[in-house]
Each structure stands twice: as C-alpha cells, then as structure tokens.
Amino acid sequence: MPKRILPLTDLQVHKAKPQTKDVKLFDGGGLFLLVTPTGGKLWRFKYRFDGREKTLYLGAYPEISLADARQRRLDARKLLANGIDPAAAKKEEAAERARQEITFETVAREWYGKQLAAWSKGHADTVISRLERDVFPVIGSVAISKIKTGEVLAILRKVEARGALDTALRIKIIFGQVFRYAVVTGLIDTDVSAPIRPRDCLEKRQVKHHAAITDPKELPPLLRAIDEYQGSFAVKCALRLAPLVFVRPGELQKAEWSEFDLEEAQWNISADRMKMKEPHLVPLSRQAVEILKSLQALTGAGKYLFPGRTSARPMSDNTINAALRYMGFDKETMTGHGFRAMARTILDEVLQFRPDFIEHQLAHAVRDPNGRAYNRTSHLIERKKMMQTWADYLDGLKAGAKVIPFKKAAA
C-alpha cells in the first residue's frame, strides 16, 4: 500500500528550515511546500492534465498561509473536474488582468499612431495636442476599462467652461474614436462616451440657418471627421460628396448612376426629381469624380449610387443626418441640408463668386435681368470654375491651410 501522507500543520510550515537542496513537504491531494536552499517557501500543486504531469505555482509563504494554499488547491481541483487546465486558466486570468490595467493614454496613443498615415500633419498635431492638454492630465493614467461616462463628461464640461465649446465637441468625437478602437481590440465592451449627447449635456451652440457650419474655421474638423467615418463605404462616399455638390439631401439620397457622365464630369438630374420641377446640371469637380469612380466599383452595377438594404431602394432619407450624429455633430450644429447653406455662405462671403452663379447652382429660381428663368446650362463655364475652386478650397482647409479670404474670383 502507498505510504499515507499526513497533512501539514501550521507549526511544521513555520519551522521548516532550508537544506543544501530543495526540500518538498507534502500536504496531500497534490499540494506541497517547496523549501529552497535560500530559505524561500513556495506552495505548489502537482496534477495531471491530458495525460501529462504538471505543476502549478500557488504563491509564497507566509503571504499565502497553509489555509490559503489549501483553498487554492481546492479551486484548482474544481477546474480540473470541469476539464480546465488550472495553469492555462491562471495564465489567461493574468493576461486579462493586464488588459484591464492598460491605461487610456496607452490606447489613445496606439489609436493615434494607426491614423497618422491617413491624416495631414496639421490635423494630427491638433488631435494629439487636444489629448495632451485636456485629456491625458486627467485620465491618461487611468485604466481604460475603469473610466466612467461621468469622467468623460467632466472633461468636456471643463473645456466648455473656458469658452471652447467647439473644442469640447471635437474632443467628444476623439473620445468616441478611441473607445470604439478599444472595443474592437477587445479591451472594453462598450464606448462609455456614447451616452453623452452634446445637446443634452453641454451649452447650446447658436443655431444657424439650416443648422449649418458656415464659419471656415469650423469646417476642417467636419471634413476630417467625414474622412475618418467608420460606417459603410457608400455612406462615407455620400458624406464626402455632400459638401462638393451641395444638392438637396433627397437629390443626393436618390441619385442614380444613369444621371452621371463621369467623362464629361457632369451630373444631370431630371425635372421630376427636382423641387422646382426643372432639370438641373451639377458640374463635378475633379475630387467629386474621383469619389464617384471609387464608389462605382461597389454600387455601379445597380440603379442607385447609395442603395439601401436592398438594391431596389435608395438609402434612407435620414442616413446622412444619422451619420453626422454618429460623428458627434448634433442637429443644432450640422444637417445634411446644411451643406447647401455652407456652400452658399462661403462661396459668397469668402470666395466672392457672383450670387446668381451660386443661386443657380443651388437650383433656386433665378431670373435674368429681363425676368426670364435661367436654363440648366446657364453660366456653365463659370459654374464649373466655381465648383472646382470650391473643392480645392475645402481640400486646403482639410489639409490645414490658413483660413484667409480668397481674392475676388474672376467671373
């Protein structure tokens, strides 16, 4: 018969002396105390898993008492009874603890590094400066898994309190992007900034006509947010086209491939699709054509540029507004219709194009000096020039160009 192992006592463990080589004092059930020549007393659990003999480290005495070690042995045996390797479970638990301790700053800088290739230097500098000035000093060293919604809101309100409401809104967008990155990389389960709706929690911005961003200084964050949009490619293309063509939201939503001549860089919208029931021609800038060509590879075989859940119908009339909300622009700040007010204001006040060129491009009812309605090709050369100048101007803003008024356009 095998020799019966007598359980250890607290006194035996306490008085165990080091020898010239390792000594094992067995407690039974696979638990033993390893006494090293240097005086260390280490609890170990010996077991078999998948036919192999293995040893699990349970901690050191006196930090882990005899009773603690026995409880850990019991926990390990329960795992074995359920077909789980205690050593693998311990390793996974340690890895999870390490993930749970990764700080917000570590995650934010990792996310930031992955965006640099697609960003201009000016935008990248703006993003990191906002993080380093307003966010990292407050929660940078906090584990991202432990950050609460209230802590995020407190940062936004602190920025708002110094009168930088626009910066607060941009930081809210950055928060969402960092937290969503943490979700997809498995560090957290949810974006804790998502419940924060600026219109409910922050001061109301002055509402502009058609809820549009018309100050050139406020355009770069919007244009960059569109470039960074993480939704479907078709919706991203619609967002990118909206400021370049500034048609009514329904006209963009229901755009059909048959209306486009990419070789001539023109979009011909039939009268039955126009509010004024007059056919409309949209000259397409080089940038707009590039977007359309990239989209054509995805949806060009169908009827609509932006199909809905089924190709037989276009995307929802709320898709653009929903995407703007997702990016952090509430309905008091920007709407799909607002791209029209944006273009009208800046083309007039900054780029100084003739108002009748602008109004005609907006498909408004415009009359010539004799009271006759302009037709769809009126001032086409000048409007083509205007649309390209406008697209180049937006690119310049997005790339970080100084916001200065253009000289009066030759028309």
Cα distance between residue 181 and residue 287, in whole Å = 29
Token pair of 163 as six digits? 């009168």
* Cβ pair 336, 324 in contact under 8 A: yes
Is 364 an active-site residue? yes
Q: 1.10.150.130, 3.30.428.10, 3.40.1080.10, 3.40.50.720: which CATH number matches 104-201?
A: 1.10.150.130
DSSP annotation of 303? S
* Cβ pair 349, 342 in contact under 8 A: no
Is 181 an active-site residue? no
Is 326 an active-site residue? no
**Which member of 46, 180, 303, 374 is catalytic?**
374
Residue 307, exposed/middle/buried by CB under 10 A (0-12, 13-18, 19+)? Answer: middle
- Give the residue range(s) of CATH 1.10.443.10 domains in the chain: 216-398
Is 374 an active-site residue? yes
Is 337 an active-site residue? yes
Is 210 an active-site residue? no
Beta-sheet pairing, 31-35 with 23-28: antiparallel
Q: Is 367 helix (H, G, I), strand (E, B) or coil?
A: strand
Per-position pLDDT tens, the chain of length 411:
456 678 989 898 998 999 999 999 999 889 999 999 988 999 999 999 988 999 888 889 999 999 999 999 999 999 888 888 888 887 877 666 766 678 999 999 999 999 888 777 778 888 999 999 999 999 999 999 899 999 999 999 998 888 788 888 889 999 999 999 999 988 889 999 999 887 777 776 554 445 888 888 889 999 999 999 998 999 999 999 999 999 998 899 999 999 999 999 999 998 888 877 788 899 999 999 999 999 999 999 999 999 988 878 899 888 999 999 998 888 888 999 999 989 988 998 889 888 888 888 888 866 554 444 556 677 889 999 999 999 999 999 988 866 554 444 444
- Give the residue range(s) of CATH 3.30.160.390 domains in the chain: 10-97
How far lies 341's CA from each of 135, 215, 337, 358, in Å? 33, 11, 7, 11
* Cβ pair 235, 226 in contact under 8 A: no
**Which member of 44, 364, 376, 385 is catalytic?**
364
- Give the residue range(s) of CATH 1.10.150.130 domains in the chain: 104-201
Bridge partner residues of 268 (DSSP) = 281
Whether domain 216-398 has CATH 1.10.443.10: yes
Architecture per CATH, 10-97: 2-Layer Sandwich (3.30)
| Alpha carbons within 13 A on the beta-carbon side of 400 | 9
**Which member of 248, 254, 280, 360 is catalytic?**
248
* Cβ pair 306, 319 in contact under 8 A: yes
Q: What is the DSSP string of 89-143?
A: HHHHHHHHHHHHT-BHHHHHHHHHHHHGGGS-HHHHHHHHHHIIIIIHHHHTTSB
Q: Is 318 helix (H, G, I), strand (E, B) or coil?
A: coil
